[in-house]
Each structure stands twice: as structure tokens, then as C-alpha cells.
Amino acid sequence: MGRLSVNLCGIELENPVIPASGTFGYGYEFAELYDINCLGTFSFKGTTIAERIGNPLPRIAETSSGMLNAVGLQNPGVERVISEELPKLARCFHKPVIANVSGFSVEEYAEVCRRLDKQEQVGWLEVNISCPNVHGGGMSFGTDCQAAAAVTRAVKAVTTKPVIMKLSPNVTDIVSIARACEEAGADALSLINTLMGMRIDLNTGKPILANITGGLSGPAIFPVALRMVWQVSSAVKIPVIGIGGVQSAEDVIEMILAGATAVEVGAANLINPYSCRDIIEDLPGVMDRYRIEFLRELTGGAHG
């Protein structure tokens, strides 16, 4: 095991850097730029039972320290992901990948997970109960303990691979949601998803996004994400993946100190497509600067 290696639900990662779902496509798009096998793994685009064209345009808005998106889970549907996207991915990525799953009912979550669980290249299932940009699904399951637990139990009943529940920050008490998922059988948790926000166009006096609201990501949300990773990792015994505003090797180490086992990088990929590669290359030097020998021994180190 190298200095950067971590273990996520029994699967060894060469490093803890994971591009987040929705910011890295299905991987092969970025493989045209660099060898994506340098990544620990990545989470591919959120998948639903049927094809979704997403929300109407415009669905992206910039902010001074991040961005808003209301893409709305655009994807080709699980069967085309299995028949078309995964074979293309297999030609350029030779590690287990995280399958990100969303749904509009408990049954849909379970069915999509059941189908993806059978795919050899899928190492983990990341179940998104936290998307703020769809109506009648996504975040509606992640803001209630009983609903979050119901999705977790249903998915665990039909899968054999580790299940990661992706949590919403748009709640009063994220710890109670995290504990409900853990008690229902989750193998790990990832947090946070985007924070709800909006912008108004002063020329029109109307919201910029057709969806009116969207998910805020980028450096603005890093302190919120760090706080929630700290709280949740203190309250559960399963691994936590930290997400939210990560831009640098220093941010990765800060997330791990707060309690994360691994770290997902989202909006930074949209600003600089080489960001994850650069973070991985920078990590050893930053570790030397702070006299860190092994990242895997650092998890939760700030808790004392």
C-alpha cells in the first residue's frame, strides 16, 4: 500500500481522489485529456430507470464563488448505460467504478441498483437521495429519516456490492438522516450534495434558471461540507466520503482530518478538467510539508 492509498468498503484505492457524479460524465470524455487510471475511482453520471432529458434551459448560472446547476438528472437510462456507456468506459478505465443512482420511488431506486449491481466494473453503488433539481424524487427521500431508511433497505435487499448513501445538506439535522441510513444497512455515506440557491437576472427581473432554483456547488460550500462531514463522521461507524467545494490537495487533507475516508471533487472538474489529476500529483508534496506519512492514518485526526 502506498502513502496515498485508502480502503473504501473493503476495496483498496490508490488514492482518495474521486471525481463526483455529474461532473465527470462516464469517464471516457476525460480519458481523451489524461490517463484517468490515476484516479482512486470516480462516480459516473446519475442514472435513472428511464431516459431523462433533464430540465429546460437555461440550467447553469455562475456565482462569485461557485455555480448553480439545475440539470435535472439528464441521462440515457440504466439499460443504455449498461449496454453503451460501460463498455466504452471499460476500454479506458481499469478499476472499479462508482455507479450513481437516482429515482422517483423506492422501487425505482431498487430496480436500477439491482441491474447495476450485476455489472462487473461497478464496485460501489452511490444512491443519490439528495438531488435538489428534480420534482418528486431525489431530495424528497433525503430529507426524512424514514424515507432515507426505506430506500437504503430496499437497495440493500437486492444488491451485493457496497451501498453508499449520498446525503442532502438541505436539512435541519443531517446526523439523524445519516444514522437512519446506517441503521438500515448502508455501507458508507457521501456528503454533501449541493445547497439550494437561485440568481435573478437584473435585466429581466426574472430568475436566471428555468427551474428557478438550482444546486450551489464550488468553493463557497466547502466550510459547510466540512462541518457536516465532521458531524456525521462523529456520529456513525461507517466510512464517509467528503464532497463540496474541494479544489486542492490541501482541501483533500482537510476533509480527511474532518473524518472523510475519501473525497469527491465536483465543480472543480468543470473549471479545470485536469483538476483531479493535479490534486493527486500535488498530494505527496503537501503531505511532506505537513509531515504526514500515510493518508489512511489521518482520517478523523482533527477530532482529537
Single out the residue of 49, 47, 53, 54 nearest to residue 69, CA to CA: 54
Amino acid making up residue 113: C
Single out the residue of 224, 229, 222 nearest to residue 247, CA to CA: 222
| Strand-pair category, 206-207 with 200-201 | antiparallel
Measured in residues, the chain has a length of 304
Contact between 115 and 107 under an 8 Å Cβ cutoff? The reply is no
Give 3-state DSSP helix, strand, coil % of the chain, rounded to 5.
35, 20, 45
Enzyme catalytic residues? 131
Residue 150 and residue 195: Cα distance in Å, rounded? 23
Amino acid making up residue 125: L
CA 112 to each of CA 81, 103, 197: distance values in angstroms, whole numbers, following the listed order? 11, 8, 29
DSSP for residue 47: B
Strand order in the sheet with 214-217: 60-63, 66-69, 214-217, 195-197
Contact between 167 and 189 under an 8 Å Cβ cutoff? The reply is yes
Report the Cα 245 to chain-centroid distance in Å.
12
Contact between 265 and 304 under an 8 Å Cβ cutoff? The reply is no
Helix 222-235 × helix 249-258 angle, to 10°: 30
Helices (H), 74-221: 78-80, 86-90, 106-117, 139-142, 145-157, 174-183
